[in-house]
Amino acid sequence: MSDTQATPEALTLDVRNMLCPMPVIKTGERVATLAPGDELSILATDPGTLHDVPAWCRVHGHTVLATTQEGRNITVRIRVEAP
């Protein structure tokens, strides 16, 4: 079966209990395996993630769709853009 058009995927990366710089490093590693249009939800507990991942996205041309924080739990949802 050959499908020439890939469907964007909604994926999750769990970096809870990891401290800076690991959430950004793991995000970069994961994004490198994804296709443009895929969405990635990053689950974290390091408060720096709220600033570091959006900054990383600006540098690398990806889009931040949402950031939320409930207690210690942080979620940053991004869309992978074409290089």
Domains of the chain, residue spans = 10-79
Determine whether 20 is an active site residue: yes
Structure confidence at residue 5 as a pLDDT band (50, 70, 90): low
First to last CA, the chain: 28
* Catalytic pick among 11, 13, 18, 20: 20
- Distance (Å, whole) CA 49 – CA 19: 9
Which class does domain 10-79 fall in? alpha beta
Q: Tell me: the pLDDT tens digits for 34-81?
A: 999 999 999 999 999 999 999 999 999 999 999 999 999 999 999 999
Alpha-carbon Rg of the chain, whole angstroms? 13
pTM: 0.89
